Amino acid sequence: MWFGTFLRQTGLQGLGKSRAGRCAVCGRRTIFLVTEDENLRENAFCVWCGSISRNRHVARCIVDTFAARGVRRFRDLAEVQGLRVYSLSAGDVFARVWGNRPHIVYSEYWEDCASGQRRNGILCEDVQRLSFEDESFDLVVSQDVFEHVPDWRRGLEEVRRVLRAGGYHIFTVPVDPIAKTSPRFERRGEELVPIAPREMHGDPLQGTIVTYTTFGRDLLDYLRETGWEAELRETTKEEERRWGTFACSTLVTRRV
Ligand SMILES: [Zn+2]
**What SS3 string covers the chain?**
CHHHHHHHCCCCCCHHHCEEEECCCCCCEEEEECCCCCCHHHCCEECCCCCCHHHHHHHHHHHHHCHHHCCCCHHHHHHCCCCCEEECCCCCHHHHHHCCCCCEEECECCCCCCCCCEECCEEECECCECCCCCCCEEEEEEECCHHHCCCHHHHHHHHHHHEEEEEEEEEECCEECCCCCEECEEEECCEEEECCCCCEEEECCCEEEECCEEEECCHHHHHHHCCEEEEEEECCHHHHHHHCCCCCEEEEEEEC
25: amino acid identity, one letter: V
- Higher local confidence (pLDDT), 195 or 231: 231
Cα(26) to centroid of ligand 1, in Å? Answer: 4
**32 Cα to the center of ligand 1, angstroms:** 9
CA of 154 to the centre of ligand 1 (A): 34
Q: Write out pLDDT tens, residues 80-136.
A: 989 999 999 999 999 999 999 999 999 999 999 999 999 999 999 999 999 999 999
| pTM reported for the whole predicted model | 0.91
> Which of 37-46, 157-166, 202-211, 246-255 is predicted least confidently?
202-211
pLDDT recorded at residue 195: 83
Residue 154 has a pLDDT of 98
pLDDT exceeds 70 at position 13: no
Query: Minimum mean pLDDT among 31-35, 47-51, 111-115, 208-212: which range?
Result: 208-212
> How many CA atoms within 13 Å lie on the side-chain side of 107?
24
By percentage, how much of the chain surpasses pLDDT 70? 95
| Domain coverage including residue 19 | 2-255
Question: What distance in angstroms lies between residue 204's CA and the mean position of ligand 1's atoms?
Answer: 19
Q: Please check the confidence at residue 7 and state whether its pLDDT lies above 60.
A: no
Answer yes or no: is pLDDT of 3 > 70.
Answer: no
Query: 112 C-alpha vs ligand 1 centroid, how far in Å?
Result: 33
Position 5, amino acid? T
In tens, the pLDDT along 57-66 reads 999 999 999 9
Tell me: pLDDT of 184 over 90. no
| 252/38: higher pLDDT | 252
pLDDT at position 15 is: 74
Q: How confident is the model at residue 207 (pLDDT cuts 50, 70, 90)?
A: confident
Task: Determine the distance separating the centroid of ligand 1 and the alpha carbon of 30, expressed in angstroms.
Answer: 7
| pLDDT over threshold 70, residue 205 | yes
- Specify the CATH number for the domain of residue 71: 3.40.50
141: pLDDT strictly greater than 90 = yes
Residue 46 Cα to ligand 1 midpoint, Å, equals 5
The stretch 205-215 carries a mean pLDDT of: 86
Instruction: Give the Å distance between the CA of 113 and the centre of ligand 1.
Output: 32
- Mean pLDDT (the chain, rounded): 92
Which whole number is the average pLDDT over 138-143?
A: 98
pLDDT of residue 22: 96
How much distance in Å is there from the Cα of 193 to the middle of ligand 1? 40
Distance in Å, CA 153 to ligand 1 centroid = 33
CB atoms within 10 A of CB 15: 13
**Ion ligand 1: protein residues whose beta carbon lies under 5 Å:** 23, 25-26, 46, 48-49, 51
**Structural domains counted in the chain:** 1
Residue predicted with more confidence, 23 or 210: 23
The reported pLDDT for the residue numbered 185 is 85
Cα(2) to centroid(ligand 1), Å: 11
The CA 159 to ligand 1 mean position distance, Å, reads 28
> In which order are the strands placed within the sheet that holds 104-106?
104-106, 85-87, 137-143, 163-172, 249-255, 228-234
What is the Å distance from ligand 1's center to 136 Cα?
Answer: 29
